[in-house]
Amino acid sequence: MRTPAPLGSLGFEKLVNAVVDYAIYMLDPDGHVVTWNSGAKRIKNYDAAEIIGQHYSRFYIPEDIARGLPVAALEAAREIGRYEAEGWRVRKDGTRFWASVVIDAVRDDQGQVVGFAKVTRDITERRDAQLQMEQSREQLFQAQKMEALGQLTGGVAHDFNNLLTAILGAAELARRAAGDNPRLMTLLNGIAASARRGSVVTQQLLDFARQQPLEPEEIDLTQRMGPIAALLRHSLRGDIALVTEVQTNLWPVEVDPGQLELALLNVALNARDAMPQGGNLRIAANNVSLNREVEGLAGEFVALSITDTGPGIPQEILPRVFDAFFTTKDQGRGTGLGLCQVHRFAKHSSGAVTARSPPGEGATITLYLPARRPQLGIEQKAAEDESRLRILVVEDDMLVAEYAAELLQEMGYATRVVHNAGEALAALEREPRFDLVFSDIVMPGGLNGFELARKIGDLHPELPILLTSGYNDNTTARASALHIVPKPYRFDDLQAALSQLLEFRRA
């Protein structure tokens, strides 16, 4: 049997040099680099020729150099024989890596320190993996906590609901027995009102704990709006005026009606709280086609928005109003679950909710609920067309014309598109039944929008005209008492302008 040849010093150097995963090098007693292996080159990027003779502190980050760490490390190794640590180090190109470092003091036969052996490993990846694991453990812990909180909340809310049912029932019976004792009646009414408020809160808690499954059904908001408004009016004070503006022919939406009522109630109660001196609450409902403008939603939706005339929501808290338990109200006055319910309802219904509060304009909460656009049969469509108000669109730009026609159809109008004033006058001549002319102002060649409007005013004085322009030319408009929507127009603005002009035609 052959015994392996003993490793001479040359063989040892070869071995050290062959190691690429560890930086292995020697320092002199003051910390200058004396030898350099291929691992050191790979990890720290320096060639042996450029680093030998340099002080090893250049591998440290400036903060550690300022703390005197390189010197302290050598001191420690000299005192105890070995120094071990993990920390940030710097490569030649300035990038940092997380290093595991061992420094051993090397002594001669008399025990004198003649230098240091230094071994460094790049463990950045390992550290990243570890941090990631800690992070996911933290997330899991959070999720478990929320789950436990949810279960607890659900349990408490459930028991509480039973108690409230008993209180409400007893108050009801007592009211019947109270006869005509007005003082007692007032007290009992107070008890019943508080219990009802309590059950709204428990509803929210149950929803938060996800113990209330949604039961979606197809509903026609045009029909539902009356009862919903009545419910809201009931919950508001007398000094708050409720106005509803619901577009006719709203598309049917698929939602849980109970949750929808609760959501609207939550929004309305917030508005009430925001208007202690009274004010207006406006509920508007419109069909909208979205193409990812709102929270990435695409398709057909009904936008249901509630606007108040309170002080609005401060910009800095706007991003947090939908968070669970976020409230700015005094203890006992708000749980911070109202808008959280609205948000969850919207999400679970595959829709979205937004909060806007332009300075000085109160707050607007808008629910986007997924809708089904009814497919009309050909005959039905013709009949629909017949009954719809007809708008003559005058626009020289083909693309804009197409867009305008689409918007108007979306709003329920029938349209006829022409591309200049001449064509417009001809159409008015030949096709008598138009309810409104919607014209661009700037049109090359022939009459412009103002001139067309004047001409139409002479020929068909009863026909309303709405002009549009990309130029902000309000003075002319005011002088001529014409109605103008600026370009680019938004669905809402155009719709508002049209319904104002067409009001008397519908009647």
Q: Which residue in this structure is represented by tokens 């436990």?
A: 148
The 3-state secondary structure of 319-380 reads: HHCCCCCCCCCCCCCCCCCHHHHHHHHHHHCCCEEEEECCCCCCCEEEEEEEECCCCCCHHH
Q: What is the DSSP string of 106-131?
A: EE-TTS-EEEEEEEEEE-HHHHHHHH
321 lines the binding site for ligand ATP (CB under 6 A): yes
Candidates 199, 173, 200; CA nearest to 188 is 173
| Residue (363 or 436) nearer to ligand ATP, CB | 363
Q: Which residue, among 428, 492, 488, has the nearest Cα to 464 in the 3D structure?
A: 428
Piece of the chain touching ligand ATP by CB under 6 A; list 133-141, 267-275, 281-289, 401-409: 267-275
Contact 384, 375 (CB under 8 A): no
**Choice from 70, 216, 336, 486 touching ligand ATP (CB under 6 A):** 336
198 binds ligand ATP per the rule CB under 6 A: no
The binder of ligand ATP chosen from 37, 266, 366, 415 (CB under 6 A):
266
160 sits near ligand ATP (criterion: CB under 6 A): no
Residues of span 291-310 touching ligand ATP by CB under 6 A: 308, 310
How many CB atoms lie under 10 A from the CB of residue 157?
22
416: part of which helix (H) or strand (E)?
A: strand 414-418
Among residues 203, 270, 305, 448, the one that binds Mg ion under rule CB under 5 A: 270
Q: Which does 271 bind (CB under 5 to 8 A by kind): ligand ATP, Mg ion, none?
A: ligand ATP
Output the smallest distance, CB 275 to ligand ATP, in A.
8
Do residues 98 and 129 touch, judged by C-beta distance below 8 A?
A: no
Among residues 29, 150, 334, 457, which is the contact residue for ligand ATP, using CB under 6 A? 334
Q: What angle do CA 155, 159, 162 make, to 5 degrees?
A: 145
Contact between 338 and ligand ATP per CB under 6 A: yes
The stretch among 129-137, 222-230, 270-278, 390-398 that binds ligand ATP (CB under 6 A) is 270-278
Specify burial of residue 452 (Cβ count, 10 A radius: 0-12, 13-18, 19+): buried
- Pick one of ligand ATP, Mg ion, none as the site partner of residue 335 (Cβ within 5 to 8 A by kind): ligand ATP
Binders in 34-63 for ligand ATP, by CB under 6 A: none
The angle, 0 to 180 degrees and rounded to 10, between the axes of the packed helices 221-235 and 257-274 is: 40
Shortest reach from residue 322's CB to Mg ion, in Å: 11
* Residue 24 interacts with, from ligand ATP, Mg ion, none (CB under 5-8 Å by kind): none
Nearer to ligand ATP, 310 or 449 (CB): 310
Residue (197 or 373) nearer to ligand ATP, CB: 197
Quote the least distance from Cβ 91 to ligand ATP, whole Å. 50
Q: What is the 3-state secondary structure (H, E, C) of 478-493?
A: HHHCCEEEECCCCHHH
Shortest distance, CB of residue 336 to ligand ATP, whole angstroms?
4
H or E segment to which residue 392 belongs = strand 390-394
* Residue 124 binding partner per list ligand ATP, Mg ion, none, with a CB distance cut-off of 5 to 8 Å that depends on partner kind: none
Could you say which of 74, 313, 352, 441 contacts ligand ATP (CB under 6 A)?
Answer: 313
Residue from 115, 338, 362, 449 binding Mg ion (CB under 5 A): 338
Q: Specify the DSSP class assigned to residue 435.
A: S
Q: Burial of 337 by CB count in 10 Å (0-12 exposed, 13-18 middle, 19+ buried)?
A: buried
Task: In angstroms, give the least distance from the CB of 321 to ligand ATP.
Answer: 4
Minimum distance from CB of 362 to ligand ATP (Å)? 7
Tokens found for residue 457: 């005013």
User: In sequence order, what are the residues at sequence separation of 6 or more whose Cβ sits closer than 8 angstroms to the Cβ of residue 447?
Assistant: 421, 422, 455
Which stretch in 333-341, 399-407, 429-437, 494-502 sits in contact with Mg ion by CB under 5 A?
333-341
**CB count, 10 Å around CB of 18?**
10
283 binds ligand ATP (CB under 6 A): no
- Which is closer to ligand ATP, CB of 329 or CB of 478? 329
Number of residues that bind ligand ATP (CB under 6 A): 20
Helix or strand run (H / E) with residue 187: helix 182-208
Exposure b/e, 477-490, CB count within 10 A at least 16 = b: beeeebbbbeeebe
Residue 336 near which of ligand ATP, Mg ion, none (CB within 5-8 Å, type-dependent): ligand ATP
Q: Are 470 and 486 in contact (CB under 8 A)?
A: yes
Interface positions with Mg ion (CB under 5 A): 270, 338
Interface positions with ligand ATP (CB under 6 A): 266, 270-271, 274, 308, 310, 313, 321, 326-329, 334-340, 363
